[in-house]
Amino acid sequence: MTSSRTSEVRSETTNHIATITLDAPERMNTISAAMLDDLSARLLDADRDRDVRCIVLTGAGRAFCAGLDMAAQASSSKGSLGGLGSLDVAPGELDIRNAPPIVLHNLDTPTICSLNGGAAGYGLDLALGCDMRVAGESVKLNPGFAKRGILPESGGTWLLPRMVGYAKAAEIAFTGRTLRAEEALELGLVNHVVPDAELASRSMALAAEIAENAPLAVRAIKRMMRAAETETFDQNVHHVFLQLLTLIRTNDFQEGVAAFMEKRTPDFTGR
Q: Summarize pLDDT for 229-241 with one digit per residue, the tens.
A: 999 999 999 999 9
pTM for the structure as a whole: 0.89
pLDDT of 87:
43
Tens digits of per-residue pLDDT, 131-153?
A: 999 999 999 999 988 888 888 87
Residue 59 burial by CB count (10 A; 0-12/13-18/19+): exposed, middle or buried?
Answer: buried
Assess contact for 188 and 200: CB atoms under 8 A. Answer: no
Tens digits of per-residue pLDDT, 30-78?
A: 999 889 999 999 999 999 999 999 999 999 999 999 998 766 555 554 5
pLDDT of 108:
97
Query: What is the mean pLDDT of the segment spanning 66-92?
Result: 58
Kindly report each contact of residues 88-96 with a partner whose C-beta sits within 8 Å and lies 24 or more positions away, as own/partner: none
pLDDT of 152:
83
pLDDT of 39:
95
pLDDT of 98:
85
Query: What is the mean pLDDT of the segment spanning 85-107?
Result: 73
